[in-house]
Amino acid sequence: MFTDSTLDSIKKELDAAFQAKKAGNEGKMRVCARRAAGIAARNYLQNQGIAVINANAIHCLEQLKDTQIPQTCILRVDKLIQRVDTNFMLPAEIDLYMEASALVNELIALDKGDINGNE
């Protein structure tokens, strides 16, 4: 189960990502979105009894891909860990805020709860 503290940390990062996106700061939005997804991934892995190899958000997301999660989650993780190009951009169709939010909710649901802490 995701603790209230973990949910608060995730919400804080998603809120920061949303504000950065609104302000046009794509770099900060990517960092915050990935951090939120990384927190959720680390918590999900630990709740499944899987030792987290590295607490870094990207490493947690990569480790998450090696578990039994739905294909939709794997596709979201692939987008979240994609590197920017030489101009520090991702393909226009990738919205990391949306991908992170959706992945967080999917992991919480898989862990038998939701973003509001309800079962």
Asked whether residue 119 is assigned to any structural domain, the reply reads: no
| pLDDT tens-place string over residues 51-98 | 998 889 999 999 999 999 999 999 999 999 988 887 777 777 788 999
Asked whether residue 118 is assigned to any structural domain, the reply reads: no
Report how far residue 49's alpha carbon sits from residue 38's, in angstroms, rounded to the nearest whole number: 17
- Give the percent of the chain with pLDDT over 70: 94
Is residue 103 pLDDT above 70, yes or no?
A: yes
The CATH number of the domain holding residue 103 is 1.20.120.330
Q: What's the rounded mean pLDDT across residues 1-13?
A: 95
Q: What is the pLDDT, as a whole number, of residue 114? A: 41
Give one word for 18, left, alpha or beta, with left for phi > 0 and alpha for psi -120 to 50.
alpha
Q: What is the pLDDT, as a whole number, of residue 94? A: 85
Q: Which residue has the higher pLDDT, 84 or 102?
A: 102
Enclosing domain of residue 18: 4-110
* Number of domain units in the chain: 1
Report how far residue 108's alpha carbon sits from residue 71's, in angstroms, rounded to the nearest whole number: 16
Mean pLDDT of the chain: 90
pTM of the model: 0.89
